[in-house]
Amino acid sequence: MTHPGGETAELPVEPPVAAAAFGDQLAGARRYVELLAGEGVVRGLIGPREVPRLWERHVLNSVAVAEAVPHGARVVDVGSGAGLPGIPLALARPDLALTLVEPMARRVEFLTHVVQELGTDWSVVRGRAEEKSVVRAVGQVDVVTARAVAPLPRLVGWVRGMLRPGAQLVALVGAKAAAEVPDLVPELAAAGMRDVHVRPVGADLGEAATQVVVMTRTGR
């Protein structure tokens, strides 16, 4: 694989745990990593320095979310960017129905290309999660995922219209954001969310293990 200008894109080393994480979808995961390392860098969706750690830091890190997503769920990945965490999640969990929501045209083009390359039936919707047209296109779903999209109260405001009562928001967050969660519970409760908690995920994924904030929309 070469980038414009002729330089060769080195593919990251695939960790042994990838085979167990993706099962019979491993070929699709490998192709996705190739696309991230090639077109993803060319389009500015992935920094060149991220390529060596695409598997652990991005792809398997996203797969860890699977532990917090119920079987057969309709999942919307908001602010999907290069498809993280939605695409690795849906590859590892073929039982899920996935919609990728992203406002930026060049990212939408990349996501659409990935969906075509992988031969999946995932949907790509251009727009912001809070836009009425996007909510109409997506409908109400079981789970919304997000990775480093916005502070949690703002994120809840954006996605609540997509969450049916009892549906969950599963947000991949860093250590700093996770530490702030207890202080945010009253604000999140006022926004119509309950059972807000931080959950460690991906313990069997080695250094890709991470944590998510999970919360459930109230019935009102």
CA gap 79, 176 in Å, rounded: 20
Would you state the pLDDT for residue 172? Answer: 93
Q: Which residues pair with 141 in a beta bridge?
A: 163
Task: Give, in order, the Cα–Cα distances in Å from 138 to each of 27, 71, 115, 162, 172.
Answer: 28, 19, 17, 7, 21
Q: What are 92-123's pLDDT values in tens digits? A: 999 999 999 999 999 999 999 999 999 999 99
Tell me the two tokens of residue 24.
């019979």
Confidence of residue 174 (pLDDT cuts 50, 70, 90): confident
Instruction: Calculate ∠ Cα 172-177-181, nearest 5°.
Output: 100
pTM for this entry: 0.92
The helix-helix angle for 105-118 and 26-35 (nearest 10°) equals 150
CA-closest candidate to residue 121, choices 94, 145, 144: 94
Mean pLDDT along residues 179-202: 94
| 146 has binding-site annotation | no
Residue 7 pLDDT more than 70? Answer: no
- Mean pLDDT is lowest, of 77-86, 90-99, 172-181, for 172-181
**Domains along the chain with CATH numbers:** 61-217 (3.40.50.150)
Tell me the two tokens of residue 150.
């916005």
Would you state the pLDDT for residue 4? Answer: 44
Residue 73 pLDDT more than 80? Answer: yes
Tell me the two tokens of residue 93.
């969990």
What's the mean pLDDT when you consider all of the chain? 92
| 5 has binding-site annotation | no
| 107 has binding-site annotation | no
| 129 has binding-site annotation | yes
Q: What are 137-154's pLDDT values in tens digits? A: 998 899 999 997 788 999
Q: What are 47-66's pLDDT values in tens digits? A: 999 999 999 999 999 999 99
Q: For residue 176, which phi and psi values (nearest 5 degrees)?
A: -65, -45
Instruction: Calculate ∠ Cα 17-51-177, nearest 5°.
Output: 75
Would you state the pLDDT for residue 46? Answer: 92
| 10 has binding-site annotation | no
